[in-house]
Chain A
Amino acid sequence: MNAPLIGEQEWIDFAIDGRAVKARPGWTILETARENHIHIPTLCYHPAVKPWGGCRLCVVEAKYGRRGKVMVSCLNPPIPELEVFTHSERVKNVRRWVLEMLLASCPASPDIRKLAAEYGVTATRFPIRDPEEKCIRCGLCVAVCTEVVGVQALTFGSRGVTKQLDTPYRVPNNDCVACGCCATICPTGAMLDRIDQVRGDISRRTGHGYAH
């Protein structure tokens, strides 16, 4: 967020859940909500990296005049006089379904279970394919590795339902500097289990300027 100097530009006045709030130009709805201590759940959002909009848990219902739309709050900037609802029926419907499906696709994560329970989702009707799975493919590890660490040791492989977190060419990656950022940023703890599969041979790294 490139917040301009105070006074240089006007604040944007809008409302979240009936409360009047102010945003700096350049802020997103989510950032404004956090600033005002209004809770919006997220999984793939982290202030250190660019918002990606993958998990869709941060959806809010935005009403402008007579038009209402469900949109993600992590990417959309507010406009003056917008009315945002963070817990409307349509919003909760999206979150409940996403969480119920997440319970089936990554059942091993206690964080997901906790979040789901907040929305009254304790069981899932969908088949559990891998009981050990924790990864939700939110892309935070890929983003932090690329944008913050700057080494691109992680990437997504494949597409759609078979999308997997992977290393380039599916071999342990010697570009990995073993900084552990990916494991730290992971919202479900999935990265901690597979960081050893990512890391390449540390001894070979001497030639790349990473010698200790």
Chain B
Amino acid sequence: MKKIKNAKELEALRARLLQAQDPQQPVVRVCLGPGCLAQGADKVSRAFREAVQAQRFKARVQPLIKETGCHGFCSQAPLVSLAPLDLLYVQVKPEDAEEIVNASLVKGKAVERLLYRDNGTRYRSAGDIPFYQMQQKVILKNVGVIDPLRIEDALLAGAYRSLVKALTEMSPEEVINTVSLSGLRGRGGGGFPTGRKWRRARDYTLENPGPVFLVGNGDEGDPGAFMDRAIMEGDPHAVLEGMIIGAYAIGAHQGYIYVRNEYPIAVRHLSIAIEQARALGLLGRNILGSGFDFDLQISRGAGAFVCGEETALLASIEGRVGEPLTRPPYPAQQGLWNRPTIINNVETWANVPHIIGQGAKWYTDLGVPHSTGTKIFSLVGKVKNTGLVEVPMGTTLGTIVEQIGGGVPGQKKFKAVQTGGPSGGIIPYELKELPPEEMRPARFGLRPRGFLPSELKDLPVDFDSLLQAGSIMGSGGMIVMDNRDCVVDVGRYFLRFLQEESCGKCLPCRLGLQGMLEFLDRFSRGQGEPEDIDELQSLAQAVVDGALCGLGGTAPNPVLTSIRYFRDEFLAHIMDHKCPAGVCRDLIHYRIDPEACNGCRLCARSCPQGCISGRNKKPHTIDSTACIRCGACLDVCPVDAVRVA
């Protein structure tokens, strides 16, 4: 491809591409997002290619098969969407490809059995499914639509239009002003106003001339989160465009995208995107004839969670040990090689082109005051529709979990939602009566609560409301729990993760998380005194106050919030030696209710210990001395006769 010398040539290329495109040409979009790939979407895509070839379409109607990024509806993986028929097929297997090609592409009919079905309704188009209907896709608009390996696709979808606008119509000062006015806040966790960060770096550079750097943080390490991954894999040019605009605003000539090596597809797609942008002259010297130089480089992380912390990440790029440093000085003043460095999450960067393209006003209208725009969440856990969800800021927790998520599967009850990854708080779905001292501005670390809705499911999901509820926005993980999840056990899980990922530099984090885990381990065995809950709270506070970086400083959040909202559950473990959720193995016993048991023998066959006995059609019994409390019987029992106590 020829190098583009100015904005006019870019628009001419876009117009040529648009003309070459036939809107009637059928397009098959196979989702190759993380969820679908795990379910064999690559085989589905291959099957489609073979089926199309076998059909011998005429050249004009030859269907285009696109391997796209994440479509979002991961619980129905693998997903295949057809345009212009506007059909969405779910749970597609390689064997289905031929049928879809024959029915839909040749005859224009839908394959009924592969359409999404819910409560007896069949949905033909993705737009009608409640999961998609309630969302507002801005950042994810092109993810799942374009082929991320072709810059032509991105250009057709409007990529680099905002860059042209910034370079030709706006001064760097105006770009920073627009971003400031838009109210964009960092999507990586802290929620720091992006415009203010840029301004700080620019002011510092004006006083101390020299190089400035730009970093895109794609080191997404939270368990169960894949927002950044979806953007980097599905629409890498959005990240690139945002970073070039940011570089223009603060006058940087070199940028880095830090991606963890566990995301090989993201690394590949970004590398290809950078190559293509460079070939077109959108990166490198004299971008679009504006005289502005900027280039990007990928820096691969070795998979340390702590390297998502900005100072540790910068240390890692420089080749030092990935350990955080005390701030101030902030990276915006002294970052890479002691020069001002703007470090933003890749989702934040992907927001920038939309703000520049459509204006600050449009962006502020999307969310609520102080939290503008949209946010991507990865909705996972005990919810029917898991996947990637993009909603305007301020959407209530209830809307996300119940309407988009479709509620808890089966007869179980919602218990809580954990937002913000392993360092986020656990928010109960229905607010329980709290003891009066807990309703006051809390002694221990939790922010004084201003207004909280009587039911936390009415809690608007934005930066400030989540902070008030004791949690954080984080990078956007959202884990739904039902009444079979024990908060003590969940706390142990997250603490174990964070303790393993702690860098070990400061004592409150290295020893404190270990100490907190020991408290919880004791509780889960039914040991300890009620006073130990207060002791644990005090230790958690010491970790919050004492820890060096954000990892340690927020690590006690799950424990602090679960003590605040679920103290009765802690007391049940300690006083009654019972685990109300039936999870903590030392405190539970399985037994079979002889009244309910129909003697189907399913449990006996699934028991790994072989400790369930009973004759066919007669009530069974569990030998509790041999039982390892794995719960296999509970999961298979068709009549819910297995009881946990």
CB distance from B516 to the nearest CB of A (A): 10
Q: Assess A55 versus B507: contact at CB under 8 Å? Given A93-B538, A97-B512, A161-B514.
A: yes
Give the complex CA separation of A182 and B304 in angstroms: 29
Q: Provide the residues of chain B in CB contact with A56, threshold 8 Å.
A: 506-508, 546-548
Residue from B304, B506, B518 within 8 A of A54 (CB atoms): B506
Give the complex CA separation of A203 and B548 in angstroms: 43
**Interface positions of A from 151 to 181, Cβ below 8 Å from B:** 156, 158-163
Q: Is B11 in the interface zone, CB < 8 Å from A?
A: no
CB pair A160–B499 under 8 Å, yes or no, is yes
Residue from A72, A76, A163 within 8 A of B504 (CB atoms): A163
Q: Is B14 in the interface zone, CB < 8 Å from A?
A: no
CB distance from A154 to the nearest CB of B (A): 13
Q: Is A53 in the interface zone, CB < 8 Å from B?
A: yes
Give the complex CA separation of A136 and B506 in angstroms: 10
Give the complex CA separation of A63 and B304 in angstroms: 34
Of A98, A105, A136, most buried by chain B (CB within 10 Å of CB) is A98
Query: What is the 8 Å Cβ interface bit string for chain B, positions 535-554, against chain A (1 contact, 0 not)?
Result: 00011011101111000000
CB pair A160–B500 under 8 Å, yes or no, is yes
CB pair B500–A97 under 8 Å, yes or no, is no
CB distance from B319 to the nearest CB of A (A): 14
Give the complex CA separation of A160 and B504 in angstroms: 4
Main secondary structure of the interface of B (DSSP, over half): helix
Interface size on A, residues (CB 8 A): 33
Q: Provide the residues of chain A in CB contact with B413, threshold 8 Å.
A: none
Q: Is A126 in the interface zone, CB < 8 Å from B?
A: yes
CB distance from A127 to the nearest CB of B (A): 7
Q: Provide the residues of chain B in CB contact with A98, threshold 8 Å.
A: 507-508, 511-512, 542, 546
CB distance from B253 to the nearest CB of A (A): 30
CB pair A126–B515 under 8 Å, yes or no, is yes
CB distance from B441 to the nearest CB of A (A): 13
Across the interface, name the chain A residue whose C-beta is closest to B539.
A97
Q: Is B505 in the interface zone, CB < 8 Å from A?
A: yes
Q: Provide the residues of chain B in CB contact with A76, threshold 8 Å.
A: 326, 328
Give the complex CA separation of A163 and B502 in angstroms: 10
CB pair A59–B545 under 8 Å, yes or no, is yes
**Interface positions of A from 73 to 108, Cβ below 8 Å from B:** 75-76, 90-91, 93-94, 96-98, 101-102, 105
CB pair A70–B546 under 8 Å, yes or no, is yes
**Interface positions of B from 501 to 529, Cβ below 8 Å from A:** 501-508, 510-512, 514-515, 518
Q: Is A137 in the interface zone, CB < 8 Å from B?
A: yes
Q: Assess A137 versus B510: contact at CB under 8 Å? Given A56-B548, A70-B545, A160-B503.
A: yes
| 6 residue pairs bridging A and B, Cβ less than 8 Å apart | A56-B548, A76-B326, A94-B542, A101-B507, A159-B502, A159-B503
Q: B residues near A, CB below 8 A? A: 304, 321, 326, 328, 499-508, 510-512, 514-515, 518, 538-539, 541-543, 545-548
- 18 new A-B contacts, CB < 8 A, other than A53-B548, A158-B504, are A53-B326, A56-B548, A57-B507, A72-B548, A75-B326, A90-B545, A97-B508, A98-B507, A98-B512, A126-B515, A137-B510, A139-B505, A156-B504, A159-B504, A160-B503, A160-B504, A161-B500, A162-B504
